[in-house]
Every structure is written in structure tokens, then in C-alpha cells.
Amino acid sequence: MKKLVITLALMMLGLGSANAQFDLGSLASKLKDAASDLVDKVEEETGSSEIASGLDALLGALLPETEIPGTWQYLDVAVEFESSDALTQAGGALAAETVEDKIAPMLTKFGIKPGAFTFTFNEDGTATTTVGKKSVKGTWSYDKEGEVVTLGLGKKEYKLRMTVSGDNINILFEADKLLDLVKTVSSKSSNTTLTAIAAVVKAYEGMNIGFECEKISK
């Protein structure tokens, strides 16, 4: 996906020169703008808002490492496709919306709802995840080569991606790890609900699932 995003962005921005230099934040912004322009073009020429929306989900630009520190508050469930093949097979934006609509109310049973669930990434590498009154402390680090964040909570580690979503970000996990995270950070338990979430996730291969969040403090 990284190669696809960069190739499309360079084509649209005319930045094919090997001498072009950008800081990470500027590049992420340009990639997001390029993706947005491409989505508009696809919708205009195909007349399909579903294809355009699905492509928009596929082309999320990675959040620059320097922008990660801070407290991020949960807004909604987020779904992104792992590849263009997954996008096609999953049925595009319709499948993503279906997953979001089904999982969001299930997460509320664990206290994961807007205003009550946050991730805090400190510049010293420590981290805290809070659901309601329960907080789980840990650590975080950024793998520049793999472009993933490793979040350690208690004795467990999670690999996650953080992508730009308009003015917000998406914090994305592999589906099975998302379920494990819910059990780790929540003070509530419901095996029936976890089973229901797992069934929804299993029905849609090739997706990363997580949380759309807004930054509420640096």
C-alpha cells in the first residue's frame, strides 16, 4: 500500500524528481491532499461515490512520528483496507460502513465510547490507555522501517498504524489484536459481545480495524 500511495501522489503532484526533499509532516500532508484529489477524480469519472469513498479509506497517509505524542480521544470506529485487492473483495466503502455500524454499539458495552476512551503517547516513550476510570500504563515506540507503532500495555504488545483522517487520525490494529486490546483496557467483560465482534470481523478479510480519534492535548 505504501508504494501505491507514494506512486499515485508523485504522479499527481509532479514530484518525480529524485532531488525533491520534504520533511515528514509536509510529505504526509501532500500525500493526503493527493489522495483527496484522486478520490474526487474517481468519483467524477465513474459516478460512484462508493468506489471513491473506498479508495479514500485505502489511501490514508501515515501520521508523522513527530505528531504522535499527545492525548488522543476516541470518536468512532475506524476501518481501513490493507490493500487494493482487499478493497475490491470486501465491497468497498459499503463493507467498511457495515463493520463500523455493527461494532460501535458493541464497544459501548465495554465503556469504549466518545469522550470516555483515550490514548496518551508521551515524548519519553511512556503511554497510557484510559477507558472511563480505568487506566493501563505502558510504553510506545515507532519503527521507522516498518512504519508501525508498538504499544506495550502490561505484558502485552500491539502493533498499530496511525493514519491521517481529515483533521483526525485513525489508530488501527489487526482485527484479533483489537479484541485483545478491548479485554485488556476495559474494566467490564462480556464474552457474548466479544464473540459477536469477532464474528463481524471474521466476515470481512483484509481490513484493519480501530478507532478514529482527535487530539485533545499535546
Q: Which of 26-40, 119-133, 159-173, 197-211 has the highest mean pLDDT?
A: 119-133
- pLDDT in the model for residue 41: 60
Strand partners of residue 131: 117, 134
Q: One-letter amino acid identity for 174?
A: E
Q: Is 49 helix (H, G, I), strand (E, B) or coil?
A: helix
Q: Is residue 88's pLDDT more than 60?
A: no
Is residue 218 within 8 Å of 101, Cβ to Cβ?
A: no
| Measured CA distances, 170 to 42, 115, 151 (Å) | 23, 16, 15
Radius of gyration of the chain (CA): 17
Note the pLDDT tens digit of each residue in 5-54.
Answer: 333 433 444 433 333 333 444 444 455 455 555 555 655 665 555 544 54
Is residue 186 within 8 Å of 193, Cβ to Cβ?
A: no
Q: Is residue 141's pLDDT more than 90?
A: yes
- pLDDT in the model for residue 148: 92
Which triple of cell numbers denotes residue 96? 467498511
Q: Is residue 183's pLDDT more than 60?
A: yes
Backbone angles phi, psi at 85, to 5 degrees: -65, -45
Q: Which domains does the chain have, with CATH numbers?
A: 2-58 (no CATH), 65-217 (2.40.128)
Higher pLDDT pick, 81 / 80? 80
pTM for the structure as a whole: 0.69
Select from 1, 65, 57, 8 the least CA-distant residue to 31. 8
Percent of the chain, pLDDT > 90? 33
Is residue 28 within 8 Å of 64, Cβ to Cβ?
A: yes
Q: Count other C-beta atoms under 10 Å from residue 98's C-beta.
A: 16
Average pLDDT, the chain: 75
**Burial call 198-216: b when 16+ CB within 10 Å, e when fewer:** eebbeebebbbbbbbbeee
- pLDDT in the model for residue 73: 97
Give the integer Cα–Cα distance in Å for 85 and 100. 20
- pLDDT in the model for residue 218: 83
Higher pLDDT pick, 175 / 11? 175
- pLDDT in the model for residue 40: 56
- pLDDT in the model for residue 22: 38
